[in-house]
Amino acid sequence: MDKKSHSKEAQVTAIADDTPISVESKRLVADVFGDEDGHDIKYKTLSWQLVAALMITEIVSNGMLTLPNAMAAVGIVPSLVLTIFLGVFALFTAKLLVDFKLNHPEVHNMGDAGYIMFGPIGREVLSLGSIIFAVFAVGALVLTGQQALTVLTNNALCASIFLVIVTVAVFLLSLPRTLQRLSWLGLCSAVFIGLSGTNPIPGRTVVATVPTNFYQAFLAITGPVFAYAGHFVFFILISEMRRPEDAMKAAWVLQGFATTFYAVFSVVVYVYIGSTVESPALFSLSPIWVKITFAFGLVNFLITGALYTHTAAKLAFVRLFRGTSHLHTHTARGWAAWLALCLAASASACVLAAAVPIFADLVGITASLFASWYTYGIAGFFWLFDAYHGIGKRARGRGLAAWQRRWGMAALAGATVLAGAFMCVAGTYVSVKLIVDAYREGLVGKPFTC
Q: SS3 sequence, 128-141?
A: HHHHHHHHHHHHHH
Q: Is the dihedral of CA 257, 260, 262, 266 positive or negative?
A: negative
Mean pLDDT value of segment 66-82: 81
Q: Above pLDDT 70, what percent of the chain?
A: 82
Quick: pLDDT tens for 18-50.
333 344 444 455 778 877 788 888 899 999 998
Phi, psi (5° rounding) for residue 295?
-60, -45
Where residue 282 falls among pLDDT bands split at 50, 70, 90? Answer: low
* Residue 100 confidence (pLDDT): 96
CA 365, CA 381: separation in Å to the nearest integer? 22
Q: Is the pLDDT of residue 210 over 80?
A: no
Biggest CA pair distance of the chain: 74
Domain ranges of the chain: 39-356
Q: Is the pLDDT of residue 393 over 70?
A: yes
* Residue 15 confidence (pLDDT): 39
Contacts of 8 (CB under 8 A, 6+ apart): 29, 30
Q: Is the pLDDT of residue 331 over 70?
A: yes
CA 88, CA 340: separation in Å to the nearest integer? 39
Three-state DSSP at 46 gives strand
Measured between its terminal Cα atoms, the distance across the chain in Å is 63
Q: Which of 223, 209, 333 is nearest to 275 (CA)?
A: 209
> In the CATH scheme, what is the code of domain 39-356?
1.10.4160.10
* Residue 129 confidence (pLDDT): 94
Where residue 3 falls among pLDDT bands split at 50, 70, 90? Answer: very low
Q: Is the dihedral of CA 339, 345, 348, 349 positive or negative?
A: negative
* Residue 430 confidence (pLDDT): 86
> How many Å separate Cα 401 from the centre of its chain?
34
